[in-house]
Amino acid sequence: MATTQENPLLEGLQVRRTPDPCILVIFGASGDLTKRKLFPALYSLAFRRLLPEKFAVVGVARTEENDDEFRERMKEAVQSSARDEFRDDVWEALAEGMRYIAADFNDHDALNRLAGTLTEIDEELGTEGNRVYYLAIPPSAFESVVRDLGEHSQATGWRRLIVEKPFGHDLTSARHLNEIVEEHFDESEVFRIDHYLGKETVQNMLALRFANGIFEPIWNRQFVDHVQITVAESIGIEARAQYYEQAGAIRDIFQNHLLQLLAITAMEPPIDFTADSVRNEKVKVLRAMHTPGPKSVVRGQYGRGYIEGEEVAGYREEDGVDPQSTTDTYVAAKLYVDNWRWADTPFYVRMGKRLPRRETTIAIEFKRAPHPPFEELAAEGLQPNVLLVHVQPDEGVSLAIGAKVPGQGINIRTVHMDFLYGGAFRTGLPEAYERLILDAMLGDATLFTRIDEVEEQWKLVDAIVAAWSRDRPAFPNYPAGTWGPPSANELLARDGRSWRRH
**DSSP character at residue 337:** B
33: part of which helix (H) or strand (E)?
helix 32-33
Distance CA 191, CA 449 (A): 7
H-type alpha helices, 272-378? 275-288
Q: Which of 191, 268, 205, 264 is nearest to 450 (CA)?
A: 191
**DSSP character at residue 378:** B
**DSSP character at residue 359:** E
Distance CA 172, CA 191 (A): 20
Provide CB contacts within 8 A for 124, sequence distance 6+. Answer: none
Whether the CB-CB separation of 77 and 36 falls below 8 Å is answered with yes
Query: Which of the residues 169, 195, 226, 257 is marked catalytic?
Result: 257
Q: What is the 3-state secondary structure (H, E, C) of 216-241?
A: HHHCCCCCEEEEEEEEECCCCCCCCH
Query: Strand locations in 353-392, DSSP E?
Result: 359-366, 386-392
The identity of residue 267, as a single letter, is M
For residue 257, indicate whether it is catalytic: yes
User: What b-and-e string marks burial along 256-293, b requiring 16 or more CB atoms within 10 Å of the CB?
Assistant: bbbbbbbbbbbbeebeeeebeebbbbbbbbbebbeebe
Distance CA 69, CA 62 (A): 14
Whether the CB-CB separation of 499 and 483 falls below 8 Å is answered with yes
Q: Which of 39, 283, 290, 259 is nearest to 166 (CA)?
A: 259
Q: Are strands 346-352 and 224-232 parallel, antiparallel or unpaired?
A: parallel
Q: Which of 90, 93, 98, 75 is nearest to 24 (CA)?
A: 98
Catalytic sites, residue numbers = 257
